Amino acid sequence: MIHEDEARRLLQSAADTIDVTSTAPLPEPAPRRTPWLAAAAALVVLGAGAGIALGVGGDDDAAAPPATQRTDSTQTADDLPEGSVPPVLGMMVDDAKAELEAQGLTVRLETGYDCLYTDGRVMETEPGLGLVPDGAVTLTISQGIAPNVQCSGGLWEEDWAILDLAQGRAPADDPGFAPEVSVVVDGGAATTLTRAQALDPATWTPGSGLAIVGAALDAVRPPAEDGDAWQKAQVSSRFGLPPLTECGITRPGSEADLDVTTLSVDSRDQACGAAVQVYRQPPPDHRGLGEVVALVVRSPQTGSVEKVEVPDVRGLRKDDAREAIIAAGLAVTTNTERRCDPGTGVTQQTPKPGASAAGGDVVHLALQAEPKGANCAGLSKAANDLLTWARGGAAPRFADQVTLMRGYAETGTLSAAEAAGKGNWRNCPPAISFCLSALDAIADTDGPIQRRWDTDNMPQLDDGRYLVDCTADLGGLPDGFYDATRIHLYPPSSLPCNQQWEVSVWVDETGAITGVNYAPPR
């Protein structure tokens, strides 16, 4: 076993092997994501059935879409030099191997890790695309995400399964289609496919739905210099409700609260590559991916990227805020913070209102709601009652078992009757003969006792600084208390650090006190 001081020495020795440049420019606020062309618009929505029926309509206030035009890929695998490496990136290893061997090429396999290419798919070839191999072609097969790396913005197996279909292959995994899937292409009318139809590569005939994305993925570009590999568009993903109008194409609106992943084919030649927005019905428990209920496909478009002003949606209800953001040509994600005394509507937005953003950038909205299962009103009342009792009033209501903690470590439990006796609260550690209890701390403090929820920041002082946490941490909270909502009581912030304390109170669903922690000064 390694002691803590030795652990610090070892970690420091490891850190000392890492070179860091001495200077770097002071960071600026985080950059925005891939720019997209967009314009304001609003659309009518239809939602129905097990899947979702999608429709489009106009709005007089909608801004005219920017001038865009469709472009077509100019070169395909057929244009690659004879005997050269064909495009196999993203294919499953067996399919890629078979394709290469059918062309008379010898194959070697290696493995690697990747966030974009999922387990079993080709992530790299040596030599590269369009080059004639001297000997064997080495395929590097992804084993998925490296054990020590966590990725986001990569693709799931289900995403690749959709891209398999787009490229005319049977999907290697189940894309998770709902019994009915709506398909919309370039803002046109919705068509509905059954799950079986959607899963059949033959459904996606050239120029239709997913095949548009597939064609963009199949496009190849000759190298700038002889001897270099040919280039191929890459796919990327973005999570969040997309702008209503992006790249001049207006998507259907949706009444339902669906998860949306946009799979885009990045192309150097176009401002907006082909893309498919995959709409999933969130599973009831919000675990894993839901069923795909709609695919909204966009052909590659040319045109310039527009800057838009981020609207001010603070205070708006979630749905209204989302609508305003997407109408401005921006994508949106939301996150709800659970806290007692929640704010109304959107409490925070990033980027800030009035900021300039590229169309299609994601705006993150923060909302607040009461914690599920928390008894906020009961906590507030229990805190009042405890204060009153400590200063000579009536005892509060206790649960059958009350856990007392000191410095976040459990020191004992009391029955409801025992808890009503103040003398039982002096829960000193064995080595200390006299110590104050939470009740003593409250009773001995002059001035108003303040309170904050566990989700609140430390209180701000008159001079603008924030109160330093001067309380002692003597161990971890017992099971069940760390995650539970609680209310903190603390003395006037003007007291010096060595007189600061904090009392935390937990209650059950009836408002009876179940636990009290007294964090004494350090």
Partner 1 sequence: MEFSEYVAIRRARLVRSAVLLGCPEADAEDVVQTALSRALRAWRKVQRADSPDAYMQRILLNTLRDTRRRRWSGEIPTETLPDGGSPDDTQRQTDGVAVRQALAAMSSEHREVLVLRFYADLSERDTALALGLAPGTVKSRTSRALTALAATLDVTRSAR
Residue with tokens 């708006």: 316
Q: Tell me if 335 contacts partner 1 by CB under 8 A.
A: no
**Least gap, CB of 253 to partner 1 (angstroms):** 29
Considering only the stretches 39-47, 86-94, 107-115, 253-261, report the one whose residues sit in contact with partner 1 under the rule CB under 8 A.
Answer: 107-115
Burial of 262 (0-12, 13-18, 19+ CB in 10 A): buried
Tell whether residue 284 is a contact of partner 1 (CB under 8 A).
no
DSSP 486: -
Min dist. Cβ of residue 233 to partner 1 (A): 14
Residue 200 touches partner 1, criterion: CB under 8 A: no
Render the burial of 281-306: b for 16+ CB within 10 Å, e for the rest.
beeeeeeebbbbbbbbbbbbbbbebb
Pattern of binders to partner 1 over 109-148, x per CB under 8 A?
---xxxxx------x----------------------xxx
Nearer to partner 1, 189 or 458 (CB): 458
Mind giving me the DSSP string for 204-241?
Answer: S-TTSHHHHHHHHHH-EE--SSTTSPPEE-EEEEEESB
- Residue 164's alpha-carbon distances to 90, 94, 141, 168, in angstroms, are 9, 14, 17, 6
Q: Is 461 among the residues that bind partner 1 (CB under 8 A)?
A: no
Among 228, 320, 341, 473, binds partner 1 (CB under 8 A): 473
Our CB check for partner 1 shows the closer of 26 and 432 to be 26
452 in Cβ contact with 488 (< 8 Å): yes
C-alpha closest to that of 138 among 111, 113, 99, 165:
111
Q: Please tell me the distance from the alpha carbon of residue 219 to that of residue 235, in angstroms, as a whole number.
A: 12
Q: Does residue 463 bind partner 1 (CB under 8 A)?
A: no
Q: Does 482 contact partner 1 by CB under 8 A?
A: yes
> Does residue 433 touch partner 1 according to CB under 8 A?
no
Q: Using CB under 8 A, pick the residue from 458, 461, 494, 510 that binds partner 1.
A: 458
Query: Which residue among 478, 492, 511, 521 contacts partner 1 (CB under 8 A)?
Result: 478
Alpha-carbon span 515 to 521, nearest angstrom: 20
For residues 11 and 44, which CB has a smaller minimum distance to partner 1 in the complex? 11
The one among 18, 102, 394, 431 contacting partner 1 by CB under 8 A? 18
Enter the tokens of residue 265: 């084919």
Write down the H helix ranges in 284-406. Answer: 318-327, 376-390
Write out the residues near partner 1 by the rule CB under 8 A.
Answer: 1-2, 4, 7-8, 10-22, 24, 26-31, 112-116, 123, 146-154, 236, 350, 408, 457-458, 460, 466, 469, 473, 475-479, 482-483
